[in-house]
Amino acid sequence: MKKVTIVGLSLLLLVACGKQSSSNQSGVQEGGTPPALTGTYASIDANIFQPLCYRCHTGTNPAGGDDFSNYPSLLTSYDIVSGNPEQSQLYIDVKNGVMPKGGPALSAVQVQAIYDWIKNGLPQH
Ligand code: HEC
């Protein structure tokens, strides 16, 4: 009697597992995935500036005079010295957690992407 119950249970489990795996087809995600974080303006803008800086650093009177949505003006911004992250206030501030103001500091990977971007001469794409 006991044996029969155990056999029955394992059969049930087998059926349940079989069902689960057959209905668990992995669908391909469509859209909505931000570009991978790399040292380009397009990637840093989508992954860091837009979600974490835009609310203060865009518009007619952006905080600190820095409008991060404006790629051409960033190229000449005194806060970013092309090729020289250590001299760039933008890099110094995110590295030291001063920016984003009032929010958690950027991750090491995010700081590194900004470093690479400035070091490599601020590539747009
Ligand atoms: C809550 C608003 C807010 C957010 C969010 C924010 N900032 Fe700022 N930021 C400011 C203000 C205000 C200033 C002007 C200086 C100050 O008051 O500290 C400033 C100044 C700066 C400066 C110029 C500093 C200088 O000495 O000239 C840089 C560079 C900067 N922010 C980078 C960033 C970056 C990068 C992000 C996103 C990762 C960010 N900020 C997010 C408010 C913000």
pTM here is 0.78
Under 8 Å CB-to-CB from 78, ≥6 apart: which residues? Answer: 89
pLDDT in tens, the chain (125 residues): 556 555 544 444 444 444 444 333 433 445 567 678 999 999 999 999 999 999 999 988 888 888 888 898 888 888 999 999 999 999 999 999 999 999 999 999 999 999 999 999 999 99
Q: How many helices and strands, by DSSP H and E, does the chain display?
A: 5, 0
The pLDDT of residue 116 is 98
Q: What residue owns the CA closest to ligand 1's atom 38?
A: 100
The structure tokens 């840093």 sit at 44
Q: What residue owns the CA closest to ligand 1's atom 23?
A: 64
Distance from Cα 46 to the centre of ligand 1, integer Å: 17
Q: What residue owns the CA closest to ligand 1's atom 12?
A: 63
Distance from Cα 54 to the centre of ligand 1, integer Å: 10
Distance from Cα 43 to the centre of ligand 1, integer Å: 19
| Residue 67 to residue 45: CA distance in whole angstroms | 11
The pLDDT of residue 5 is 56
